[in-house]
């Protein structure tokens, strides 16, 4: 299959690499030339713009960092809407339902089908091809791109209406954000009481409190002090804000989400958008006056 791929960052690069390795012909674009060059060495073809990608492939996938970038890539002056060959646009980014509907309506005017397909599973999942791939759009068009999507993960078709997959992704990421925030506070409490954080994790992960933060993020990036899990603070902040906005628009009470959002705002302000999102634990430990590092590891 000829596939266009736009956005070769932490997630986009390993996803596009897997598509090349699976035998698909890839036309890639990223404003960072070095990212394209690495994939060209693997067999991809470099494009000059999103529009150029859309001139050369019927199916265009995108993994983008922000809503503004998404708008430009889809409908901007050099966006895929200017391409002459593109038939379907598969957005792997997290944009929220309202943005997905907006993009759907813009592309529909040119006869381009929008398929929402946000993913979950982090950089590790992108590298291994084990992502959860949430998809909404016309069934026939989803089936047309399923072979490509199954290269990057397990496909979950959640409906046909524009934005449904985005709502699913926001619910997922809110739970992930909550696990990080709550686990940081719980472990800080135990450490201040005199517990070893490694022992706490062993107990939690063998019991009912286990979650993605205690199983994955804490052992890899927090106890070690490396804070290098591979997902940006700004991206998680974006997802939490999108969840809160969507919940408000739907009239859903958000007592827990509001509290979680406030802690992420504090962490975002303290560490910056480019920092790793696991640094929320640093915000908690600084407030609590404890270190969540495993004894003997040191760390930043």
CA distances from 225 to 101, 164, 197, 281 (A): 40, 37, 13, 10
Q: CATH number, domain at 20?
A: 3.40.50.720
- What pLDDT, on the 0 to 100 scale, is given for residue 131? 98
pTM for the model stands at 0.92
Non-local (6+) Cβ contacts of 230 within 8 A are: 10, 122, 123, 124, 276
Tally of structural domains, the chain: 2
At 300 the pLDDT is 53
- Which pLDDT value is given to residue 299? 56
The answer on 182 and 223 residing in a single domain is yes
Whether residues 93 and 174 share a domain: the answer is no
Domain that holds residue 236: 167-288
Tell me whether residue 300 is in a domain: no
Q: What is the pLDDT of residue 68?
A: 94
- ∠ at Cα 271 (265, 217), nearest 5°? 85
- What would the pLDDT profile of 65-116 be if each residue is shown by its tens digit? 999 999 999 999 999 999 999 999 999 999 999 999 999 999 999 999 999 9
Judge if 176 and 249 occupy the same domain: yes
Ramachandran angles phi, psi of 227, nearest 5°:
45, 60
Query: Do 173 and 107 fall within a single domain?
Result: no
Catalytic residue among 41, 128, 169, 217: 169
Q: What residue has token string 């739970």?
A: 175
User: Does residue 72 carry a catalytic annotation?
Assistant: no
How far apart are alpha carbons 151 and 146 in whole angstroms? 9
What is d(CA 93, CA 141) in angstroms, rounded to the nearest whole number? 18
Q: Does residue 296 belong to any structural domain of this protein?
A: no
pLDDT at 191: 97
Write out the two tokens for 200.
Answer: 């706490």
**DSSP string of 115-167?**
EE--EESHHHHHHHT-EEEEEES-HHHHHHHHHHHHHHEEEEEEESSTTHHHH
| Low-confidence spans in the chain with pLDDT less than 70 | 297-300
């Amino acid at each position: 299959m000829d596939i266009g791929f736009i956005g070769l960052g932490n997630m986009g690069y390993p996803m596009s690499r897997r598509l090349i390795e699976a035998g698909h012909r890839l036309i890639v674009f990223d404003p960072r030339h070095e990212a394209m060059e690495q994939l060209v060495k693997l067999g991809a073809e470099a494009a000059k713009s999103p529009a150029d990608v859309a001139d050369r492939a019927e199916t265009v996938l995108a993994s983008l960092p922000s809503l503004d970038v998404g708008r430009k890539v889809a409908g901007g002056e050099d966006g895929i809407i200017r391409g002459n060959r593109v038939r379907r646009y598969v957005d792997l980014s997290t944009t929220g339902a309202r943005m997905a509907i907006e993009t759907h309506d813009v592309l529909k005017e040119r006869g381009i089908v929008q398929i929402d397909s946000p993913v979950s599973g982090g950089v590790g999942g992108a590298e291994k091809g084990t992502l959860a791939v949430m998809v909404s759009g016309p069934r026939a068009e989803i089936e047309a791109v399923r072979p490509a999507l199954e290269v990057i993960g397990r496909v979950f078709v959640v409906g046909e209406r524009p934005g449904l997959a985005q709502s699913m992704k926001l619910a997922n990421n809110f739970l992930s954000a909550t696990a990080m925030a709550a686990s940081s506070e719980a472990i800080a409490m135990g450490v201040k009481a005199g517990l070893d954080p490694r022992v706490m994790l062993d107990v939690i992960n063998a019991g009912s409190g286990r979650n993605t933060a205690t199983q994955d993020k804490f052992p890899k990036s927090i106890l070690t002090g490396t804070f290098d899990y591979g997902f940006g603070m700004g991206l998680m902040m974006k997802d939490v804000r999108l969840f809160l906005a969507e919940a408000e628009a739907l009239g859903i009470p958000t007592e827990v989400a509001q509290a979680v959002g406030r802690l992420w705002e504090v962490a975002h302000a303290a560490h910056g958008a480019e920092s790793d999102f696991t640094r929320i634990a640093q915000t908690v430990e600084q407030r609590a006056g404890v270190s969540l590092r495993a004894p003997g590891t040191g760390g930043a």
